Amino acid sequence: MKVLVINCGSSSIKYQLFEMEDETVLASGLVEKIGAEAAIITHEVADREEEVITGEILDHREGINRVLRLLVRPDGGVIKDEKEVAAVGHRVVHGGEYFAESAIITREVRTAIRKTIDLAPLHNPPNLLGIDAAQAQLPSAVHVAVFDTAFHQSMPEYAYMYPLPRILYQKHRVRRYGFHGTSHQYVAQRAAVFLGKPLEELRLISCHIGNGASLTAIQHGKSVDTSMGMTPLEGLMMGTRCGDIDPAIVPYVIAKEELTLAEVKSMMNKHSGLMGVSGFSGDMREVTEAMFDGNKQAKLAIDMYVYRLKKMIGSYLAIMNGADALIFTAGVGENASSIRQKACEDMSFLGISLDLEENAKRCKKERVVSAADSKVKVLVLPTNEELMIAREAKELV
């Protein structure tokens, strides 16, 4: 069975086509700059990458059409007919309280996703565009929505409620939802396999740190707390997002700088985090390089990033009375050994100590980077949200 996985951003489409018999990737790629003058499609088949710079790609519908044409082209295509795609798995960031599991996209499901637009204005509208475009182009496939929030629906009430007047929850569903659930669940399952223990018996802390970053405490295979909240802005310091700040800063800045609400939102989402503190980049590689070149603001940005990460790890050790494993995943978690090292420094009294040599190795595989006597195993496990989405889609067909 062939499953196409689609992750639509506001001006991009990430895609992967899977053969589910052996879970291999037949083709994958990225359409960028949708709506701009020259769109770029990077398409990869069997480790051969090809960059197609096209003219304007007007919208997501045209973007998906172009992807399908690449998949079925007579020369170098990977399928003969679009009808071979039995299912399409869509990443949907916010499912509100409607979805604790993935769902086949019906009219009702689409309506529920629409209702959560207010809660994820940056993510859900492009996700819906992708769903509509793909349904129009692949009418015979089963379309499945896989939600970032679903895995966290198991959080207890005292973890997901905010200490605000209850009416805000009753009227507007103001509560914590959490994100990156597909990734946290995937690495938790991998950790169980890797450690050779049932997931139900493990206490895990997973650190998904990429551009967006969140931590999850996982007990008995379920999310019991996570660092993102009603939106993906809460919690850790990220590439361009501020994470936790005093909420009183918002009205203060609005008054002092005469900013609009939209400007403050943009400031906190796109111009803060590593970007805001370093003053030049939200990309961990660039900020790290600048730090080694002696840039003081870059050093401060990284010190703050790691300090906040470490505090969050400590708080999750507290709520679960320790942990069996601490997992690092996503762009920074998988690749930035210096960030892992600093986040785990001086934590031996909590049962965490790294094998510095092992941690420093560059390696794409799943591995242990803690010292032999570390009570908490520290694991680096590459995430694979796309494979998880493909599995969910297959399951529902």
Ligand X SMILES: Nc1ncnc2c1ncn2[C@@H]1O[C@H](COP(=O)(O)OP(=O)(O)O)[C@@H](O)[C@H]1O
Ligand Y SMILES: CC(=O)OP(=O)(O)O
- Would you say 66 or 123 has its CB closer to ligand Y? 123
Residue 210 as a binder of ligand Y (CB under 6 A): the answer is yes
Work out how close the CB of 269 gets to ligand X at its nearest, in angstroms, rounded to a whole number.
13
| Cβ neighbours, 10 Å, residue 47 | 6
227 alpha-carbon distance from chain centroid: 13
Work out how close the CB of 382 gets to Mg ion at its nearest, in angstroms, rounded to a whole number.
12
Residue 346 to residue 349: CA distance in whole angstroms = 8
φ/ψ (deg, to 5) at 91? -75, 125
Residue 232 as a binder of Mg ion (CB under 5 A): the answer is no
| Signed CA dihedral, 20, 23, 27, 33: sign only | positive
- Would you say 2 or 126 has its CB closer to Mg ion? 126
Pick the catalytic residue: 22, 47, 118, 148?
148
Amino acid at 68: L
| Signed CA dihedral, 226, 287, 211, 207: sign only | negative
Q: At what angle do helices 385-396 and 181-195 cross, to 10 degrees?
A: 100
Residue 148 as a binder of ligand Y (CB under 6 A): the answer is yes
Q: Is 221 annotated as a binding residue?
A: no
Site map for ligand Y, 226-265, x if CB under 6 A? ------x---------------------------------
Work out how close the CB of 288 gets to ligand X at its nearest, in angstroms, rounded to a whole number.
6
| Beta-ladder partners of 326 | 205, 378
Residue 210 as a binder of Mg ion (CB under 5 A): the answer is yes
**374, interface contact from ligand X, ligand Y, Mg ion, none, CB < 5-8 Å by kind:** none
Instruction: Determine the residue with CB nearest ligand Y.
Output: 212
Catalytic residue flag (residue 148): yes
Select from 8, 232, 221, 9 the least CA-distant residue to 120.
232
Q: Supply 112's token pair.
A: 């529920």
Footprint of ligand X on this chain (CB under 6 A)?
Answer: 210-212, 239, 283-285, 288, 330-332, 335-336
Q: Is 124 annotated as a binding residue?
A: no
Work out how close the CB of 209 gets to ligand X at its nearest, in angstroms, rounded to a whole number.
8
192, with CB counted inside 10 A (0-12, 13-18, 19+), is buried
| Beta-ladder partners of 50 | 43
Residue 42 to residue 50: CA distance in whole angstroms = 6
| Cβ neighbours, 10 Å, residue 311 | 12
Residue 211 as a binder of ligand Y (CB under 6 A): the answer is yes
Any residues with CB less than 8 A from the CB of 72 and at least 6 apart, and which?
Answer: 79, 80, 81, 82
Residue 149 to residue 161: CA distance in whole angstroms = 15
Residue 179 as a binder of ligand Y (CB under 6 A): the answer is yes
Site map for ligand Y, 87-126, x if CB under 6 A? ------x---------------------------------
Work out how close the CB of 8 gets to ligand Y at its nearest, in angstroms, rounded to a whole number.
11
Q: Is 210 annotated as a binding residue?
A: yes
Active site residues: 148
Residues near ligand Y (CB under 6 A): 93, 148, 179-180, 210-212, 232
* Residues tagged in the binding site annotation for Mg(2+): 7, 385
* Residues tagged in the binding site annotation for ATP: 14, 208-212, 283-285, 331-335
